[in-house]
């Protein structure tokens, strides 16, 4: 990963830099402190995490990149978020981590040493400082160099340019978290140059995700902070509804109000917010958020704040834009709530992960049969060879939650999702009904109603604790909560 030298200009619209200005820009700079926001929230935890991962691969080199910057449009990049495995193993979560690569080097069969290859700070007597729009500190602020990063993390750090030393001489068996940084994949996957290397993404991905399934007390605390900030964001949204209803793009105002809370209280939204009103609530993952809010219709808001430590909440509420549910809306809402309650009651250590979904779907199927939407009894609709209830509730009813909103998805299926629940696991329970306006199998009164109720829970020794209990879930509770916020 040799550092690329700069071309005379970094973008076609840049002003030319005369030699005299270039010389002037290299002189007269005092030492600059690190920005106040540079931090490692989980400083004490990564060493034990790295040891647990390394113990699964004795004698092997493990490479877990942060990932590169990704172009959004010419001259601009997406806001950078390091890969979850990188952040979990190093504690480093900032936007300045792009391109960094930690390596767990084997030291005999029994132990590993962590070495982090980082981009150094921009030297004030070189061109990068003032001419590199992506990495120059005149453009993108001060970043920690190797010595400072070592002090922050306790990891031995090397200059990115030292990467080539890693690839000379005898090589240990190497596993790479592939698909994260193409330049690392290309370098370590070149069998012609490095015949001893063996990228094996499935094993390393799976081990890391399986080790992340159970959250320790610190992680649970971070998730609770994310949930609490999300609760505040939902309150902000309700207070903004009069303005949002008056706005032709009210969904986007809702998205923006929540995003402000997410940036003030955390790193930002943990995933694209779904602010879906009216018929849009029947689309499972609609994130365009460009429609109006109509009184008398529902707003499905699926959102979560991601903390600075990169742990995210994931909560959904379906709100009556008039402040009160109509009788038909209330009937749909209360069926979904009954399904969620049944799912929550199924959560306990030793239960299959799928049990809560199965419990929720039985309630949904029975309700749809009672309404006459499903002609066959619930048992027949739920049979694996049928699944007719899924026309109206196609997706699953929840997922693991953590640093990724759909957390630990690379675990082996026998561990998750086909495994059993353990204390310390955090997950969502969020069944829904999506009664599309164009579905002629439905009575007209039901068409165009979409309801999802999603909460975050942690598995305890004898059941589950509702982390998002501060947000009401019953129809009466939501109506009273909204009235209190709008009258305040």
Range of the domain at 266: 217-487
What pLDDT, on the 0 to 100 scale, is given for residue 7? Answer: 41
- Which has more confidence, 198 or 162? 162
Number of structural domains, the chain?
2
Closest CA to 467 of 227, 234, 261: 227
**In three state form, how does the secondary structure of 336-362 look?**
HHHHHHHHHHCCCCCCECCHHHHHHHH
Look up residue 81 and give its two tokens.
């978020």
**b or e along 140-150 (b: 16 or more beta carbons within 10 Å of the residue's beta carbon)?**
eebbbbbebbb
Residue 9 lies inside a defined structural domain of this protein: no
State the residue for tokens 């030793």.
350
pTM (2 d.p.):
0.93
**CATH number, domain containing residue 41:** 3.40.350.10
Pairing of strands 174-176, 61-63: parallel
What pLDDT, on the 0 to 100 scale, is given for residue 4? Answer: 40
Phi, psi of 476 (to 5 degrees): -60, -40
Residue 24 lies inside a defined structural domain of this protein: yes
Phi, psi of 87 (to 5 degrees): -65, -40
- Comparing 35-49, 172-186, 422-436, 473-487, the range with the smallest average pLDDT is 35-49
Residue 484 pLDDT greater than 80, yes or no: yes
Q: Which residues face 289 on adjacent strands?
A: none
- Which has more confidence, 138 or 196? 138
Last residue of some domain: 184, 212, 240? 212
pLDDT in tens, 375-393: 999 999 999 999 999 999 9
Residues 243 and 378 in one domain: yes
104 contacts 96 by C-beta, under 8 angstroms: no
Residues 133 and 239 in one domain: no
Residue 307 lies inside a defined structural domain of this protein: yes
Distance from the Cα of residue 161 to its chain's centroid: 31
- Comparing 22-36, 274-288, 298-312, 465-479, the range with the smallest average pLDDT is 22-36
Residue 4 lies inside a defined structural domain of this protein: no
Residue 6 lies inside a defined structural domain of this protein: no
Residue 8 lies inside a defined structural domain of this protein: no
Look up residue 129 and give its two tokens.
């400082």
What pLDDT, on the 0 to 100 scale, is given for residue 421? Answer: 98
321 contacts 245 by C-beta, under 8 angstroms: yes
Residues 417 and 451 in one domain: yes
**CATH number, domain containing residue 345:** 3.90.230.10
* pLDDT cut 70: percent of the chain above it: 93
Residue 3 pLDDT greater than 50, yes or no: no
Residues 206 and 221 in one domain: no
What pLDDT, on the 0 to 100 scale, is given for residue 31? Answer: 85
Residues 164 and 221 in one domain: no
Residues 273 and 402 in one domain: yes
Residue 266 lies inside a defined structural domain of this protein: yes
In whole angstroms, what is the distance from residue 316 CA to residue 331 CA? 18
Last residue of some domain: 186, 212, 238? 212
- Which has more confidence, 193 or 184? 184
What pLDDT, on the 0 to 100 scale, is given for residue 271? Answer: 98
Residue 219 pLDDT greater than 50, yes or no: yes
Mean pLDDT across 35-44: 69
Residue 268 pLDDT greater than 70, yes or no: yes
Q: Give the model's confidence band at 251: pLDDT under 50 very low, under 70 low, under 90 confident, else very high.
A: very high
pLDDT in tens, 69-84: 999 998 889 999 999 9
Residues 203 and 305 in one domain: no
Residue 166 pLDDT greater than 90, yes or no: no
Contacts of residue 170, defined as CB under 8 A and 6 or more positions apart, other chains included, come to 196
What pLDDT, on the 0 to 100 scale, is given for residue 9? Answer: 44
Pairing of strands 156-159, 111-118: parallel
Residues 249 and 369 in one domain: yes
3 contacts 107 by C-beta, under 8 angstroms: no
144 contacts 29 by C-beta, under 8 angstroms: no
pLDDT in tens, 8-19: 444 567 788 999
Pairing of strands 455-459, 426-429: antiparallel
Look up residue 131 and give its two tokens.
């001419």
pLDDT in tens, 325-338: 999 999 999 999 99
Residues 132 and 32 in one domain: yes
Residues 156 and 202 in one domain: yes
Last residue of some domain: 212, 233, 256? 212
- Comparing 197-201, 292-296, 348-352, the range with the smallest average pLDDT is 197-201
- Give the number of other Cβ atoms within 10 Å of residue 383's Cβ: 11
Residues 136 and 227 in one domain: no
In this structure, the dihedral spanned by the alpha carbons of residues 395, 399, 401 and 406, taken in order and rounded to 10 degrees, is -50
Residues 334 and 477 in one domain: yes
Residue 315 lies inside a defined structural domain of this protein: yes
pLDDT in tens, 405-449: 999 999 999 999 999 999 999 999 999 999 999 999 999 999 999
């Amino acid at each position: 990963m040799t550092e690329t030298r700069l071309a005379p200009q970094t973008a076609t619209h840049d002003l030319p830099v005369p030699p005299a200005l270039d010389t002037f820009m290299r002189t007269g700079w005092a030492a600059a402190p690190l920005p106040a926001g540079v931090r490692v929230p989980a400083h004490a935890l990564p060493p034990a995490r790295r040891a647990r991962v390394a113990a699964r691969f004795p004698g092997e080199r493990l490479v877990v990149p942060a990932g590169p910057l990704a172009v959004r449009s010419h001259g601009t990049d997406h806001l950078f978020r390091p890969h979850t495995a990188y952040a979990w193993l190093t504690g480093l979560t900032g936007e300045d981590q792009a391109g960094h690569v930690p390596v767990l080097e084997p030291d005999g069969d029994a132990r590993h040493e962590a070495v982090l290859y980082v981009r150094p700070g921009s030297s004030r007597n070189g061109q990068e400082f003032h001419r590199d729009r992506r990495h120059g500190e005149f453009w993108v602020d001060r970043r920690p160099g190797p010595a400072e990063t070592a002090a922050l993390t306790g990891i031995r750090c090397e200059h990115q340019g030292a990467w080539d030393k890693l690839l000379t001489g005898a090589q240990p068996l190497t596993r790479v978290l592939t698909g994260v940084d193409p330049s690392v994949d290309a370098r370590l996957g070149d069998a012609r140059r490095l015949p001893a290397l063996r990228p094996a993404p499935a094993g390393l991905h799976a081990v890391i995700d399986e080790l992340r399934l159970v959250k320790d007390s610190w992680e649970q605390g971070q998730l609770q902070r994310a949930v609490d900030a999300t609760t505040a964001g939902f309150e902000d949204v309700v207070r903004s509804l009069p303005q949002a209803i008056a706005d032709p793009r009210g969904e986007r105002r809702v998205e923006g109000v929540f995003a402000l809370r997410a940036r003030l209280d955390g790193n930002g939204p943990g995933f694209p917010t779904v602010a879906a009103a009216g018929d849009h609530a029947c689309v499972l993952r609609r994130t365009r958020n460009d429609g109006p809010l109509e009184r008398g219709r529902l707003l499905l808001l699926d959102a979560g704040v991601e903390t600075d430590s990169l742990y995210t909440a994931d909560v959904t509420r379906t709100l009556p834009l008039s402040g009160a549910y109509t009788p038909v809306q209330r009937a749909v809402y209360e069926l979904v709530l009954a399904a969620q309650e049944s799912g929550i009651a199924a959560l306990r250590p030793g239960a299959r992960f799928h049990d809560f979904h199965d419990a929720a779907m039985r309630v949904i199927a029975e309700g749809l049969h009672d309404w006459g939407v499903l002609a066959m009894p619930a048992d027949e609709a739920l049979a694996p060879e049928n699944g007719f209830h899924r026309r109206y509730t196609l997706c699953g009813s929840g997922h693991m939650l953590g640093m990724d909103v759909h957390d630990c998805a690379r675990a082996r299926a026998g561990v998750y999702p086909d495994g059993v629940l353990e204390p310390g696991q955090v997950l969502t329970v969020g069944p829904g009904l999506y009664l599309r306006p164009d579905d002629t199998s439905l009575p007209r009164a039901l068409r165009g109603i979409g309801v999802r109720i999603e909460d975050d829970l942690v598995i305890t020794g004898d059941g589950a604790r509702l982390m998002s209990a501060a947000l009401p879930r019953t129809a009466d509770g939501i109506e009273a909560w909204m009235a209190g916020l709008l009258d305040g």
